[in-house]
Each structure stands twice: as structure tokens, then as C-alpha cells.
Structure 1
Amino acid sequence: MSTVTGWQHGGPADGVVIGEGVRLDTRPASVASRLLAALLDVLALLVAAIVVDFVLGQVQLPLDEHTGRILSVVSLVAVVLVLPTTVETLSRGRSLGKLIAGVRIVRDDGGPITFRHAFVRALTGVLELWGTLGSVALLVALVHPTGKRIGDVLAGTHAARVRTPAPVRRPVEMPLPLAGWAAHADVVRLPDGLALAVRQFLARADRLHPASRVELGTRLSAELATYVSPPPPPGTHPEAFLAAVLAERRRRETDVELERVRRVEEEARLLRRLPHGVPDPAA
């Protein structure tokens, strides 16, 4: 069985659909969002550095010049390497600035990052961000298709939007000419990946290139026809066939669920009944 990955043939990709038919809503974050998150992170680091410097000044440790230099280097490494790596690892890609800007660092396959990814990003950032004041990272992000900086390319990660409003999923309408056929058709259980691919196709069909729309609709209808008997009336449009099957599938599943709820309520009512001959005070 084939599976749609994004939208092939030039359609817009509002996410990633992996081989199992699972849609990963990992839309790349804009460069502006990443820039805002970076500025907020730098501000947070500066505040932390000021607090640490103030505390060390109050303690007034007796340090010689050599020890002071070592402490300065250690503090610098902690700020530009250890702290960013620790924060991104523990938060699974969400620092304070990214949390406010609605950005998360994820792997290229949409999964959460690990210590390795965070360390490579932070290590690269020593030169890419701190060494060039972020100019190299900004230029690379502007020209990269998904807004990656060099650290993301080396680590295999990207910045994803996580506060995107959830799309409103409207139920598929039953085409009236096919209502009678669908009510008597035998529709076996559809594979989850195929059902998801058909639902996504119908939701985005009007945004696809006309040739891609015809090709993909025809392919999905041929794939779906193996699970439906008898076939639709001759001359049925592929998209109408797909919509009829999904709408009928939803109707039957709803009827089954309503019947299950009714049986559960009936069984609960019988269990609450008192033995025969005992008056029911609620009656």
C-alpha cells in the first residue's frame, strides 16, 4: 500500500506523513520567530551572567590572577556551551526564548532531540552565533529552505512551530447521488494509513495542481476500491467515491458507538435495580 508523504507532485506540505501514515505537524518556524527566540535566550543568559558575577563579587574569594583567568574561561564555557546544551536536552528543544516565541527544536524526522543534538548545536554555535554575533546563522537561515542554521544542518534538526492553531477538521459530506449505494455497500475495515491519506487528500484537493489532483485521486480511489463491494455506479467521480466511503464509514462507526453507549447505560440501570420485592425509594 502506498502512503502519501506530505503532498507530492507540487502540493503544499502542511506537515510530514511518515511511512506508517502518521502525520507529524512539524511546520518549520519562520526566521523572525527564531530570531526573537535567540534574542530572548541571549537576554536570559546575560541576566544569568550578571547574577553570577554579582554573587561572586559579594563572596570576594581570594583569587590570584591565574586562577581568575581560569574561572573566567570556565564561566564562558558554561554560558556558551554547557548551559545551552543542558537546557535544550532537559526541555527537549525548548529554551526560555523558544518557549515564549512558540518554537521547538526537533529532529528532522519530527522526534525530540537528545543530548547529542543539543551538544552539536551548542558547539557549532560557539563560532556561528557567538563568534560572529549571529550574522552567519542569520544568513544561512535566510537562504536555507527550512530556515536551518549550520548547527541544525550538522545535528540533523530544525526549528518547528508549536503554537500553530489546530486546523478545524470538517466531516466529509456524503454525495447525495451515492447515498443509496453507500448504505448497502460492504466496506471492510480500512487500513489507518489509507484512511488518513484519503481524508487529507479530500481536505486539500482544492489546493493541489489540477493534474496532481486527478492523478492522486484516481490512485487513491483504485486503492480504496479493493476494500469496497460492490463497486460504485459506472461514471462515479473518484473524489465522490472517496467522500462517500469515508462518510458512510463515519456514519456506521457513529451508530456502533451509540449502540455501545446505550447497552452500557442499560446494563448499569439493571445493576442498580434492587432485588425483586424490595421497594425502590427512587421510584
Structure 2
Amino acid sequence: MSELADDREGLVHSFLSPEAVRLDLSISGPVPRMLAYGIDLLCMGIVLLLLIAFLMSSSSIGAAIHHFLNGVVRGAVQQSRDAAAQHHQPANPFGGLVIALLVLVEFVVSTCYFIFWEMVTGGRSPGKLIVGLRVVRQTGLPIDLRSSVIRNLMRAVDILPAEYLVGLIAILLSPSGERLGDHVAGTVVIRLDRPETAGEIPLSAGMQKLVLTRAQLAKIGPRELQLIRGVLRRLPQVDDLRRAELVAQAAETMRVRLDLPDLPNSDGVAFLKDLLSAAERSISVR
């Protein structure tokens, strides 16, 4: 089940995880996606130039390409002369063939380009990496090969009639910012906003020093410090009932971890702050 809601940062794709936890994903708007595509377009142009240079460096392939291009140029020049002599412009089959070939090459390269990067990086092409976007499935899981192939093959429709007009209209009309390829593949493009820097944990002015042995201090590792800091930073964001539960669980976990017979302080928050202060003093001395 999924729903969309507006917040201050824009659209949010909300869904329930298998554990029945509500998760929110920030949806990208059309402007960041267009910017990312522009960067990818530049990267694809470089890839095409390198590919052409490689093919031209091969004697047999280069000679064939050179012969083909010369034939196209000679045919176009001859038809121009004939048109000038007859005062009308006949159809140029060579020009249509070249345009069709270029469109086909561009579609194949772009499709393979996006599928490759989405599989290697988990949904991030170089353009999306720079802008800060990622393609994921609507369930929040990383994009898989099937979804990537479908959404990128659908570019043949989204790009119509020119300059991704169909895709842009679909993004603007969709509440989840999906182009047609995303609708069919079941994917969304999300923003990877940088989280705010965690604030300092305020310590009590009259805090008591907690006396611990070296063996007990050694048991307070990175995971224990992460637990204590996480609980203390989250307390201002939860209600009183949830606050008491979090403190009680964290304090009991640390009591068992340190083999303490009981809590030296009836105030669980003070106990956690004492533990954090003692662990940080111990680390600074090492």
C-alpha cells in the first residue's frame, strides 16, 4: 500500500515495509531529473566519440565507415546538382538512412548506458550521482535488472515527439513524479538529501561521575556508543511515554552489558549521560 503526501521539501512517497513500518521517500521533481539527464547526455556523447574514434582506428572497420560516409556525401552532392538543374528537390534516401541510423545508435547507447550504471551503482547514473538522485522500486528496494530494462526501453515512448515531451508531461501529471517508464517498471526517482549534522548532546551540569572498571569500559564499543547517542538525540523528538520506554530499554541493555547488579542512578537519562561521559573520557586517555 502506498500513498503520497506533501511536506515542506516536496512530494513524499510513503509505503509500508514488510515489518509494517511506515517509510517515506522524498520524490525528485522534473528540474533535478532534467539536470541529471543533461549530465548523462554529455557523458554519452563522450562515450560515442570514443567509440567512433576506436572504430575509425581499426583499418577494416574504419575503411568501411569512411567508404559509407563518402558514398553518402557523393550521393547528396549529386542530388543537389540534379535538383538545381531541374529546379526542384527530390527525396534524399541517404539523408533519411543516416538520421535513422543515428537515432538507432543513440537509443541503443543510452539504453545500455543507463542499464549498466543502474545495475552497477544500485540506481545511480553519473548524472544522478552528481545531482543526488537514485532510482528505486516503489517498495523502496534497490532497482533490479528487470525494472531497469523496462524503464529504459520505455524511453522510446517518453522521448516522443521530441526532447522527452511525453516523459515531462507524465512527470508533471503524476503525483509521484513518474514518467511512463517508471509507471510500467514500478520505479520512482528519489532525492538523496544530506541529513542534518547531529547536534551535540547536552550534558547535565550536576552530573555524577560513574565509576567503572577497565574491563567494563572496554565493553563500551562503537555499537554501544551509537545506541547511547542515538537514544539521547532522539528523546526531544518523542512523547513522554515513548521517551520513558526508550530510556528504560537502553539503560537496561547497558546494565546487562556492563554486568551491573542494578542501575547506579534511578534517572535513566542521567545514567546514559554518565556512561557516555565515562566512555568518552576513557577514549581520550587512550
Tell me which interval the TM-score lies in, with the shorter structure as reference length. 0.5 to 0.7
Tell whether the 8 Å contact from 1:221 to 1:242 is kept in structure 2 after alignment: yes
Contact 1:175 1:244 in 2 (8 A): no
Match for residue 211 of structure 2 among 180, 183, 187: 183
* Deviations, residues 201-227 of structure 1 (Å, cap 9, x unaligned): 211221223332222222222222212
Deviations 1:18-67 (A, max 9, x none): xxxxxxxxx955534x6323245157638967x979x99x9455395685
- Of 175, 192, 212, 1:161 maps to 192
- SS of equivalent to 2:208: helix
Q: 2:70 & 2:140 partners in 1: Cα distance?
A: 48
So what's the TM-score if we normalise by structure 1? 0.55
Q: Does 1:224 align with 2:254?
A: yes
TM score, norm. by length of structure 2: 0.54
Q: Give, in whole Å, the separation in 1 of the partners of 2:264 and 2:249.
A: 18
User: Is the CA contact (8 Å cut-off) linking 1:174 and 1:244 kept in structure 2?
Assistant: no
Q: 2:138–2:186: 8 Å Cα contact kept in structure 1?
A: no
Conservation of the 8 A alpha-carbon contact between 1:93 and 1:112: yes
Aligned pair partner of 1:31 in 22, 25, 28? 28
Residue from 214, 220, 231 that aligns with 1:201? 231
- Structure 1: state its 5+ residue gaps: 1-26, 258-283
238-247 or 101-110, which moves further after superposition? 101-110
Q: 2:171 pairs with 137, 158, 164, which one?
A: 137
Equivalent position of 1:45 in the other structure: 41
- State percent identity of aligned pairs: 20
Give the counterpart of 2:273 among 222, 243, 249: 243
**Contact 1:92–1:113 (Cα < 8 Å) also in 2:** yes
Query: How far apart, in 2, do the equivalents of 1:60 and 1:44 lie?
Result: 31
In the alignment, residue 136 of structure 1 is paired with which amino acid? A
Q: Does 1:151 align with 2:153?
A: no
Q: How far apart, CA to CA, are the structure 2 residues paired with 1:108 and 1:237? A: 43
Identify which of 242, 245, 260 aligns with 1:212: 242
Matched residue SS, 1:132:
helix
Pair 1:251–1:128, CA change in 2 (3 A): farther
Query: Relative CO higher for 1 or 2, CA cutoff 8 Å, sep ≥ 6?
Result: 1
The answer to which of 201-210 and 110-119 deviates more is 110-119
Letter in 2 for 1:231: D
Q: Give 1:176 shift.
A: 3.2
Shift of 1:109: 9.9
Relative to 1, partners in 2 of residues 1:157 and 1:94: Cα closer, same or farther, differing over 3 Å? same
Equivalence map 1:272-283=2 (5 Å): none
Which whole-Å deviations, capped at 9, do the CAs of 1:229-279 have from their partners, x for residues lacking one? 243345x22222222212212222322x2xxxxxxxxxxxxxxxxxxxxxx
Query: Which consecutive unaligned segments of at least 5 residues does structure 2 have?
Result: 1-23, 53-64, 76-92
1:101 aligns with 2:158: no
RMSD: 4.7
2:247–2:269 Cα contact (<8 Å) kept: yes
| Mapped partners of 1:139, 1:124: distance in 2 | 17
Shift of the alpha carbon at 1:68? 4.8
Q: 1:90 Cα deviation (Å)?
A: 5.5
C-alpha distance in 2 between matches for 1:148 and 1:239: 45
Corresponding residue number in structure 2 for 1:3: none
For the 8 Å contact 2:25–2:190, the answer to whether it is kept is yes
